[in-house]
Every structure is written in C-alpha cells, then in structure tokens.
Structure 1
C-alpha cells in the first residue's frame, strides 16, 4: 500500500510541474489578443484604403486575359462561352473571374489569409441537400478555391451585388445600399464567429429554417418553400432519368443534345476504350472507405460531355450515368479542375492534383459536402473532381427579384462567406481588423460601385470585339 509520504511527494511534484508549465491562456484572453492584433493591422492598411477602384497603368487587357484562360479548352465550345458572357454585364462578370483576380491583386490587403472561394459572386451561392437530406444555404462553386486574402472574396461579392442591381434596373443608390448591407452582414457575422468556440464555428449551419426567418415577406417564404420542393422532385432519379436518358435496345444511354450535351471522341476522352477504369479507380481511392462500399454497388453505363455555367464552358465537364440496378441510377457530374485564377497572385496550391485542391477547399469551406465528392486524373493528364448532379441544388433566379430580395440574398451570401472564412482563418483577427463601425463597409461599397463601372467598360470593349469579328461567338440553338 502506498504511504501518505509518497502521496504527498507525488502531489508536490505535480504542483511543481504546474508552476513550471504556464497554463494556456483562457479563450477570452486569446480572442482579445487576436482581436487587438487584427486592429493593429490597420496601421499598415487602414480600412478606408479598401475604398474606390482606379485602373492601374499597367492593367492587363481583359480580352487578352480571357483568351489566355481559353488555353486547353474544347475549341468548339469557346464561342458558346463568349456568347453566354455577351448576354449582359452581369453574365460577363460571371465569366471574367480571371480578369478580376488580376485586378484584386493590385488592391490593398490586411495580410490575413483564408481558404478563399475565388469566385464569390451572387450566383455561386444557393441551397443544396446534405447527406442527411436537409437543405442548407452555402457557397456552391469552388472551382477557383485557394488560400488567399479574405478581402478578395468580399469585394467580388459586393461588386456582384451592384452589377446585379443595375441588371435589374434598380437605382444606383439602392445598389450601393444593398452592397453596403451585405458587407455589414459579413462584418457582424464574423464578429459573432470571433466570440464562438472553435467547434461551434465548425458546426454552424445555415439551414432552411434560418433562411426562412430572414426573408422579407410571407410571399417570399412561400416561394422559397415551393422552390425547395421543386428542386427535391427534379433531383429524384425518376425525374432525372427519363429527361437525360434514352434506350438503345436494353442499354441506357445519355441523350445527345448538341452542342450542350454530346458523347466525346476518342481524342477528347482517351479513357473511353477502357471504360475509364483507370480514372474511376483513382476516383474511388479518393473516397472515404465507407463511401467506396456504396460506390462499388454502381457500374458506369454511359459518359457524355455536358456544357455547364459560364466560366466553365469549354472545360472538360461531363455527366456519368451509373447504375446499381435497372431502376437504381445515379448521375455524377465530372468537372475538369484547372489551376485557380488566383494562383498567379496568391501562390500555387499545395495539392498536385487540381481536383483534390477543389475537393479539399470545398470540404473546408462548406458546412456539408456531397458524399460522392472526390477527385481523379484522366489519361489525358487533366485533373477532375466528381459530385452528384443537382442533388436538390437550388440556384438563384435573378430576374425574379425585387430590391428587398436582392438585399436579403446578398446578406445571406455574406453570412455564408463569413462562416466559410471563419472555419479556415482567424475570425478574431479579421473581426478586429474590420471593427465595430461602418468604415470597412463604406470602403468596400465604394470599391464595388467603381469596380462595377470598370466591369461595364470591360463588357463594352468585349462586345465591340465581337462586333468587329475579333471575338468568336456562337448560338446554342
């Protein structure tokens, strides 16, 4: 039996060890210190420095940047990409992420970095079904994600709000106010995340009920509920399968709808002859083990190129039909992952596979991700990532909006962006830098308005190039 002397000696040893090892600072002390460090960053970059936009003398030609971004794309689809961008200044903005990335690199920054979206405009936010079949609101496009300054995402979002407001013919004063309210939402939400425990930040979700609570009217609540039910129905196999598939004998085959859906040639898809066994094997290895068990129930039946989005047009994006049984299909979207448009200015990815870069960034930023999210590399040397097609995806329909809806949607986007940034960055430092007044909000609003003017000038130059025959466009009919 151990005597009291040994017990007292052990207790003295423990007490001495405690004295020699200083205790970790309480969370409140850390947040206070981190917030103060963020505030100190204003000395080097005042918040007001983010205001306004003036084109640098050495600014790259936007059309030349767009042409560079076409390298490696399917040449026959490039005129469709440009045709979609020519539809409006807002459509041009959506397709010109490379142009704005170069511009943002010339703007002031606090020096704080996060896992950035890289293309945080209004239409890259929306609803989707989680693996538990709940509906969450979040960022839904991560093709350009990369560690980068957090301000870049905020400025791209704010500018998109002004451009969208002009697209809807709202007053310039209303456009500016909508952008300011969105930046204010980001700042206030970040302050909330700065006061939360790390796990609480990670577990935070913007679910359907939280979205409905901030909508501006009963009519808008009802409209969103209807959109959710519609999206659920459209993503069901019994809805998707007959729309996308036809039968050749007993074999199902994705319908060709050229030029937007078509089967690739051997040159476009070298893995075609082997049934893509090599690429699918690498994709399978990227999945968590329990998801592999589910994926192994399915077999690839058909594969077709599918044109999607605006900025992605011309990249190797495809649709794969997989079947577990005659009445048990899933559609997986396969998207080419190229280097992020942020890379020349923010540094290269640590991931050798660009598909892995997208998947890791999405899992880091998004509150819940598709179970089939994974990556691979094809025999053509291109990187890809996989996800389910649609899966109750709810995208914004801009033309349906009034001013109140634009404002609330902008604030929701800013909330989702703040939550995503707080997961990978230091929310206390970011919140400390922005502070509790509207100085940062007003500065970014000023930038957004003036950058919207820049976008309009670039769009007009783009349209002029089309009229002069220097830029090819094609109809999708």
Structure 2
C-alpha cells in the first residue's frame, strides 16, 4: 500500500495545547497582520506580467487546446478569474499573511462549491475542485471566494452597496461558523456535513422568499438527476454494435480518432496500466468494486477554464452489462500554483497531493478517488488523479441568480469553507483571529473590490495580447 497521506497540524502524540493557548495563537496573528490590513491590495510598480504567467502555465499543455483556454478566459472577467488562480496566488504570495495554516482549496471561487453525492447517497454541499490544494494561510482561500463574489455581482449589474453586502455576508458566515467549530469537540468537527436538505440552518434567521425556496428545491432535484447513468446516455453511443464514447471534438475526442493505430495502441496500453495501478491507491473493498468493471473505451476531454490544455481522459467501463456503466475521469495533476509561495507539497506524486487535500477538506468524498503516475508516449512522466466523472453534481448559475439568491448562496459558501478549513486547521485559533465583530468582513469586502479591479485590468491585458497576436485564441466550442 501507499505511504500515508500527510496533513498539516501537530504530529500524533505531540504535546496537547489547551484552548487558551490556541486562542492566543489567533490573537498573536492579529499582531502580525491586523484584520484591517487584510483590506490592502498593493501590487507595486514592478508587478509581474499576468499574460507571461499564463503563457508559462500553457507551455506544458496540449498545444492545440491552449487557444481554447485563452478563448474561454476572454469571454468575461469572471471566466478570466476562473482561469487565473496562478495570477492571484502570485499576488497573495508576495503579501504578508497570518501564518494560520489550514489545508487550502487553492481555487475557492464560488463555482467550486457544489452539490455532491455522499457515499451514503445523500446530497451534500461541499467544495468540488482541488487541483491547487496545498496547506497555506487560511485567508488566501477566503480572499479568493470573496473576490469571486464581487466579480459575479458586478456581472449581474449590482450596485456597490449590494455587492458589498454579498461579500460581507460570506465572510460573516465563515467567521460565525468557525466560532461554532471552536466550541465543538474534535470528532464533532470532523463529522460535520452540509446536508443539502438542511442548508437553511446556515442562513440568516429570516426565511428566504418563495422564489428562492422554489429555485433551491429545483436545483436539488436537478442535481439528483445528474448521475452516471445520465452521463452514460449523453456521452456514449453504439458503434458497430458496441457501446463507445461519442465523438464531440475538440471537447471529447475518442482515442480511436486521436492518434494513428500504432500510437493509439501504445497510449491505450499506458492508460490501462494507469487504471490497474491506480487501484492500489484505493482501500481493499474499493479495489474489489473496481475490479468488477471492464474498460471498453477512452477519450480525451477538455475541462473547465483554467484546466483547459491539461491532459484529461474519460474512461468508460462496463459492469454486468451495457446498462451497468462506470465513467471515470483521469486528470493530469501538476504542482499547485500555491507551491512557490506556500512551499512544495509533501507528496512526491501531484495526483496524491490532490487526493490527500480533497480527503482532508471534503466531508463526503468519492469512493473511487485515487491517483497514479504514468509515462506517456512522449516519454514524459505525468501524475494523474482519478475520480467518477459525474455523481449527483449540482452547479451554481450566478448569472441567473437574483440579488437575494446570490447573497444567500454567498453565505452558504462561506459557511462551507469554514467547515472545510476547520477539519485540518485550528478552529480555535482561526476563530480568535476572525473575532466576534465585523472587522474582517469589512476588510475582505474592501480587498475584493480592489482585486476585482485588478482582475478586470488583467483580463484586458489578455485581450490586448490576443489582439496583438501574442497569444493564440480560438472560440470556445462549448
């Protein structure tokens, strides 16, 4: 079996520190970085070139897909922000921080909070994407979330007062829930979940209006339909009497169309080897489950915004018969964008880094989540993490949300982030730093406004680079 995942925090058997000492850590962090100082964003005159940073990220990606990445990022400031986690990491990494460490999502924008299925087949609300996960200062995730809400609210045409209320609501929900975790037992913190049917408990005392309740119920019902079976019907077809992944290039390109026969056979062999070896990262009973499926087809998939161009494969496997499918996604994992500023991962395999971070932060994870390393037909060694392609996932649509809906969604995201941070960080120290007043809320709302301005400037810089022919751009096919 693999080396055990390592987590931030004290080593097992280390000296126990009482709550007063841990609270003192949070108060000491206030002296290092006062909460009011969290409002500042001062990039300086010699700030890095954001386009150059994006080009550096693209250098090792699939060349023909890189223009799609830039095309998607150019569609709006919010889509640019989704692809610019590395840019924000560079800005945050050069500024003072609290030193209050927790496992970070690394890309905690609002669309990375979703409805997901637990192994017990309940619908829960949680963080979904962990490509950039790494231990680091808690406020980096909170600033990433706060800024995404500011940008989304601008896209909805909301005035400054409403935008500020939305951002402050998210930070307030984070702060208030962290205070609850600070008073809970260690196991109670770990067992905490955000059950979708109980999300109202995370909202203010006043009840949402009827429209909000109706839309929430509709979203929950829709999430429950987004199953493997639905994905199977949508993504597969029958070819020569056999079930195969449907072709939809460049978004989904089956292996049979991607390469000449000799290279295809070699790559198919390497992908099958990846799957066989990946099962070693699963527990014994889950390896047994996986062994009951047979791989029948594979395809390259274009994913996300910031991830476009990374190597991503969809694997179709069949159990008892064609009506018993399993769809897996094997996604390339490189070093986290936080690594230059937070330190390298303790895991040698970047796929293992992603899996370890996800298991730390999520309250209910994918039972088939694992990792592996493979040498591709280009001779390059690459790390991957593997998970189910779709399992009861519900995705927010901020561009259609009313101001009330966006405000409530912001609070749920803030509260869920607090739960994720409390699992690996010290909720007592974090609560002591955040405090009982609104100082942190006000500071991060001010930061979010300033960084949203910078994001708009960087978005325009990419547009200028595209117009000048510096970066290749292709319209997003979907």
Matched, 1:231 2:219: no
CA 1:91–1:61: 2 relative to 1, 3 Å: same
Q: Partner of 2:406 in structure 1?
A: 406
CA distance in 1, matches of 2:43, 2:271: 47
Q: 1:295 aligns with which of 290, 300, 322?
A: 290
- Measured on the aligned residues, the alpha-carbon RMSD in Å equals 1.7
Aligned length: 450
Q: Within 5 Å, give how 1:297-312 maps onto structure 2.
A: 297-312=292-307
Q: CA deviation at 1:181?
A: 1.4
Displacement after TM superposition at 1:275 (Å): 6.3
Q: How far did residue 476 of structure 1 move?
A: 3.6
1:13 matched to which residue of 2? none
Which stretch of structure 1 is more off in the superposition, 112-121 or 55-64? 55-64
Aligned match of 2:23 in 21, 24, 35? 35
1:6 aligned residue:
none
8 Å CA contact retained: 1:373, 1:386: yes
1:248 Cα deviation after fit: 2.0
Question: Structure 1: where are the runs of 5+ without partners?
Answer: 1-23
| Alignment TM-score, normalising by the size of structure 2 | 0.91
Does structure 1 residue 334 correspond to structure 2 residue 330? yes
TM-fit CA distance, 1:270: 7.7
Pick from 201, 212, 220: which aligns with 1:220? 212
Cα distance in 2 for residues equivalent to 1:256 and 1:383: 26
4+ runs deviating over 6 angstroms: 267-270
Q: Distance in 2 between matches of 1:209 and 1:451?
A: 34
Report the CA distance between 1:329 and its aligned residue: 0.6
1:254 match: 245
1:4 maps to none
User: In structure 2, do the counterparts of structure 1 residues 289 and 315 end up closer, same or farther at CA, with 3 Å as the change threshold?
Assistant: same
| TM-score normalised to structure 1 length | 0.91
- 2:254 maps to 1:263: yes
Q: Distance in 2 between matches of 1:137 and 1:104?
A: 27
CA distance in 1, matches of 2:410, 2:303: 24
Structure 1 71/269 Cα, relative in aligned 2: closer, same or farther at 3 Å?
A: farther
- The equivalent residue for 2:73 is 85
Q: Which residue of 2 aligns with 1:20?
A: none
- Equivalents in 2 of 1:56, 1:227: separation in Å? 43
- CA 1:161–1:476: 2 relative to 1, 3 Å: closer
- Bigger CA radius of gyration: 1
Quote how far apart the aligned CAs of 1:207 are: 0.5
Match of 2:117 in 1: 129
- Aligned equivalents of 2:120, 2:81: Cα separation in 1: 34
**In the alignment, what sits opposite 1:388?**
388
Whole-Å Cα distance in 1 between the matches of residues 265 and 437 of structure 2? 57
Are residues 1:375 and 2:371 paired? Answer: yes
| 2:319 partner SS | strand
1:115-164 alpha-carbon deviations (Å, 9 max, x no partner): 10100001110101111110000101100000111110011111111111
CA distance in 2, matches of 1:37, 1:325: 55
Distance 2:264 2:43 in 1: 42
Aligned residues of 1:155 and 1:448 also touching (Cα < 8 A): yes
Asked if the contact 2:94–2:341 (Cα under 8 Å) also holds between the matched residues in 1, the reply is no
